């Protein structure tokens, strides 16, 4: 019986995450490049890189945040780990910011993004 309860709770959480993802994407203007929403459970660092490899993506856009836990500092954070191991270009953005703050090349070297009005 405890397994059924756990399975039911996991299903509810998955449904809630899917609903939240759909609500977030509903507010995104329709881009010329299609967005494929995916919901996966597991270690995000490994899953994001493996999924990017499997789908052959050209670019990942990943949110970076400044609220880092002690564990994030030790392990390097999800966004940083993905940028180091991704098979493609990675753009890290801060929540609430419109232009990218940091962009990494295909090999994981940081490139400073330029903003309108800034010299390249």
Question: In the prediction, which pLDDT does 54 show?
Answer: 95
Question: In the prediction, which pLDDT does 3 show?
Answer: 79
Residues contacting residue 68 through CB under 8 Å, at least 6 positions apart: 77
Question: In the prediction, which pLDDT does 1 show?
Answer: 59
The pair of three-digit structure tokens given for residue 98, joined into one six-digit string:
């419109």
Question: In the prediction, which pLDDT does 27 show?
Answer: 75
pTM for the full model?
A: 0.59
* Residue at token pair 């309108």: 116
CA distance 57 to 62: 13
Question: In the prediction, which pLDDT does 67 show?
Answer: 60
CA distance 40 to 67: 23
Q: Which residues of the chain have pLDDT under 70?
A: 1-2, 65-76, 95-120
The pair of three-digit structure tokens given for residue 45, joined into one six-digit string:
């660092």
Every domain of the chain and the residues it spans: 1-26, 42-114
CB atoms within 10 A of CB 84: 15
Q: Nearest CA to 80 among 57, 42, 110? A: 110
Q: What is the DSSP code string of 32-47?
A: SS--------S-HHHH
């Amino acid at each position: 019986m405890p397994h059924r309860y756990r399975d039911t709770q996991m299903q509810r959480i998955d449904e809630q995450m899917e609903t939240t993802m759909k609500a977030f994407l509903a507010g995104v203007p329709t881009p010329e490049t299609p967005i494929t929403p995916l919901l996966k459970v597991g270690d995000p660092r490994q899953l994001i890189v493996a999924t990017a490899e499997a789908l052959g993506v050209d670019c990942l856009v990943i949110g970076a945040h400044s609220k880092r836990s002690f564990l994030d500092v030790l392990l390097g954070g999800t966004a940083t780990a993905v940028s180091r191991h991704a098979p493609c270009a990675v753009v890290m953005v801060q929540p609430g910011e419109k232009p990218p703050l940091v962009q990494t090349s295909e090999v994981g070297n940081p490139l400073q993004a330029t903003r309108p009005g800034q010299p390249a």
